Amino acid sequence: MIESGAFTEPGWELYRTFLAVAREGSLSGAARALGLTQPTAGRHVDALEQALGLSLFIRTQQGLSPTEAALSLRPFAESLEATSAALLRAASSQGEGVRGTVRITASEVVAVEVLPPILADLHAAYPELTIELVPSNRLEDLLRREADIAVRMQPPTQGVLVARQLGGIELGAFAHRCYLERRGVPATLGDLAGHTLIGYDKENAFLRGVRAQLPWIQRNRFALRTDSDLAAIAALRAGFGIGFCQVGLAQRNPDLVRLFVDEVSITLDTWLAMHEDLRDSPRCRAVFDALAVGLQRYINGN
């Protein structure tokens, strides 16, 4: 810990252990996650509580429960964690050429279904590059350096980001050929009342916008409800029913048949963004450019 007048400033390792305990709910879980012994994790928590003059956890039958003080401190500790990780990524890139670590975040579907071949070509071109890929539908905060580069389905709102609009990814309604052979092909949107539908569980702002465009999309009509786009696509491929899929992905599977081409078409505005401080970083510039080219090819159907 660092002495600052009469106050002893806690070291980062104490905050790291605090975060691990908050996430794992126990000292033993935190110790496993960090590669520490349980007594060491306990000493870290005790030292942080003493330095801050706060009680951070309460023992319960389920484990350690964070106090109100801990909940208020957690976002700042997470910010420290993100900054520390960004520092290590920057340090790993020092030297000539494109090397080091770049952290990318993208939606589950894009991360799993679209990016892997792009990243494979990228790594073949720059073998000293390490990629950290975060499949998440949550908008990781680039300003807090939770990621270096983000693929987003909406325009970034922070002004200190380098952003490039890549185009629109089209969503359509699809069903597997085996489902249509079993249940028949719906001729009109009204015929969907007699079909098995795949859809969302919890509504969000994007889905409210979709419902405004396609009012027949209602949660109570779905035979399978999931907020995982990957699970929905897997069910679609398995012939469970009718659901939504990116047109580019569906075109890779000849057994997926598009329905209502004129009536059901949703465009996902696709952006690539990174913090402006990284624009001169060789590693980030190379990854940003490769993602832009690869994603635009995907959007254009190439």
Radius of gyration of the chain measured on its C-alpha atoms: 24
Q: Please report whether residue 3 resides in a domain.
A: no
Confidence of residue 270 (pLDDT cuts 50, 70, 90): very high
Q: Please report whether residue 249 resides in a domain.
A: yes
CA distance 103 to 95: 19
The pLDDT of residue 96: 63
Q: Is there a single domain that holds both residue 27 and residue 139? A: no
Q: Please report whether residue 6 resides in a domain.
A: no
Q: Looking at the predicted structure, is the pLDDT value of residue 89 above 80?
A: no
* pLDDT greater at residue 28 or residue 6: 28
Q: Is there a single domain that holds both residue 72 and residue 193? A: no
Contact 55, 71 (CB under 8 A): no
Q: Is there a single domain that holds both residue 36 and residue 58? A: yes
Confidence of residue 4 (pLDDT cuts 50, 70, 90): very low
Q: Please report whether residue 134 resides in a domain.
A: yes
The pLDDT of residue 153: 85
Q: Please report whether residue 7 resides in a domain.
A: no
Task: Please state the φ and ψ torsions of residue 301, each to the nearest 5 degrees.
Answer: 80, 20
- Fill in the amino acid letter for 194: G
* DSSP per position, 61-75: TTEEEE-HHHHHHHH
Q: Is there a single domain that holds both residue 99 and residue 153? A: yes
Q: Total domain count for the chain?
A: 3
Q: Work out the mean pLDDT of the chain and round it to a whole number.
A: 87
> pLDDT tens digits, residue range 102-161?
889 999 999 999 999 999 999 999 998 999 998 987 766 666 677 889 998 887 776 667
Q: Looking at the predicted structure, is the pLDDT value of residue 283 above 90?
A: no
Q: Looking at the predicted structure, is the pLDDT value of residue 272 above 70?
A: yes
Q: Is there a single domain that holds both residue 64 and residue 118? A: no
The pLDDT of residue 277: 80
Confidence of residue 3 (pLDDT cuts 50, 70, 90): very low
Q: Is there a single domain that holds both residue 155 and residue 203? A: no
CA distance 120 to 123: 5
> pLDDT tens digits, residue range 218-234?
888 899 999 999 999 99
Can you give the CATH number for the domain in which 254 is found?
3.40.190.10
Q: Please report whether residue 47 resides in a domain.
A: yes
Q: Which two tokens stand for residue 157?
A: 């709102």
Backbone conformation region of residue 53, classed left if phi is above 0, alpha if psi is from -120 to 50, else beta:
left
Q: Please report whether residue 109 resides in a domain.
A: yes
The pLDDT of residue 139: 63
Q: Please report whether residue 5 resides in a domain.
A: no
The pLDDT of residue 202: 87
DSSP state of 7: E
CA distance 46 to 282: 42
Q: What is the pTM of this model?
A: 0.68
First to last CA, the chain: 55
Q: Is there a single domain that holds both residue 142 and residue 276? A: yes
Residue ending a domain, choose from 65, 84, 103: 84
> pLDDT tens digits, residue range 166-207?
999 999 999 999 999 999 999 999 899 889 999 988 887 777
Q: Which two tokens stand for residue 148?
A: 């270096």
Q: For residues 22-40, give the mean pLDDT.
A: 91
Give the domain extent around 206. 169-267
The pLDDT of residue 162: 83
Can you give the CATH number for the domain in which 21 is found?
1.10.10.10
Q: Is there a single domain that holds both residue 76 and residue 225? A: no
Residue ending a domain, choose from 50, 84, 118: 84
Confidence of residue 83 (pLDDT cuts 50, 70, 90): confident
Q: Is there a single domain that holds both residue 235 and residue 279? A: no
Q: Is there a single domain that holds both residue 123 and residue 68? A: no
Cα 266 off chain centre by: 21
CA distance 223 to 240: 9
The pLDDT of residue 297: 93
Residue ending a domain, choose from 32, 53, 84: 84
Q: Is there a single domain that holds both residue 113 and residue 247? A: no
The pLDDT of residue 142: 67
Q: Is there a single domain that holds both residue 33 and residue 155? A: no
Q: Looking at the predicted structure, is the pLDDT value of residue 291 above 50?
A: yes
- Fill in the amino acid letter for 256: L
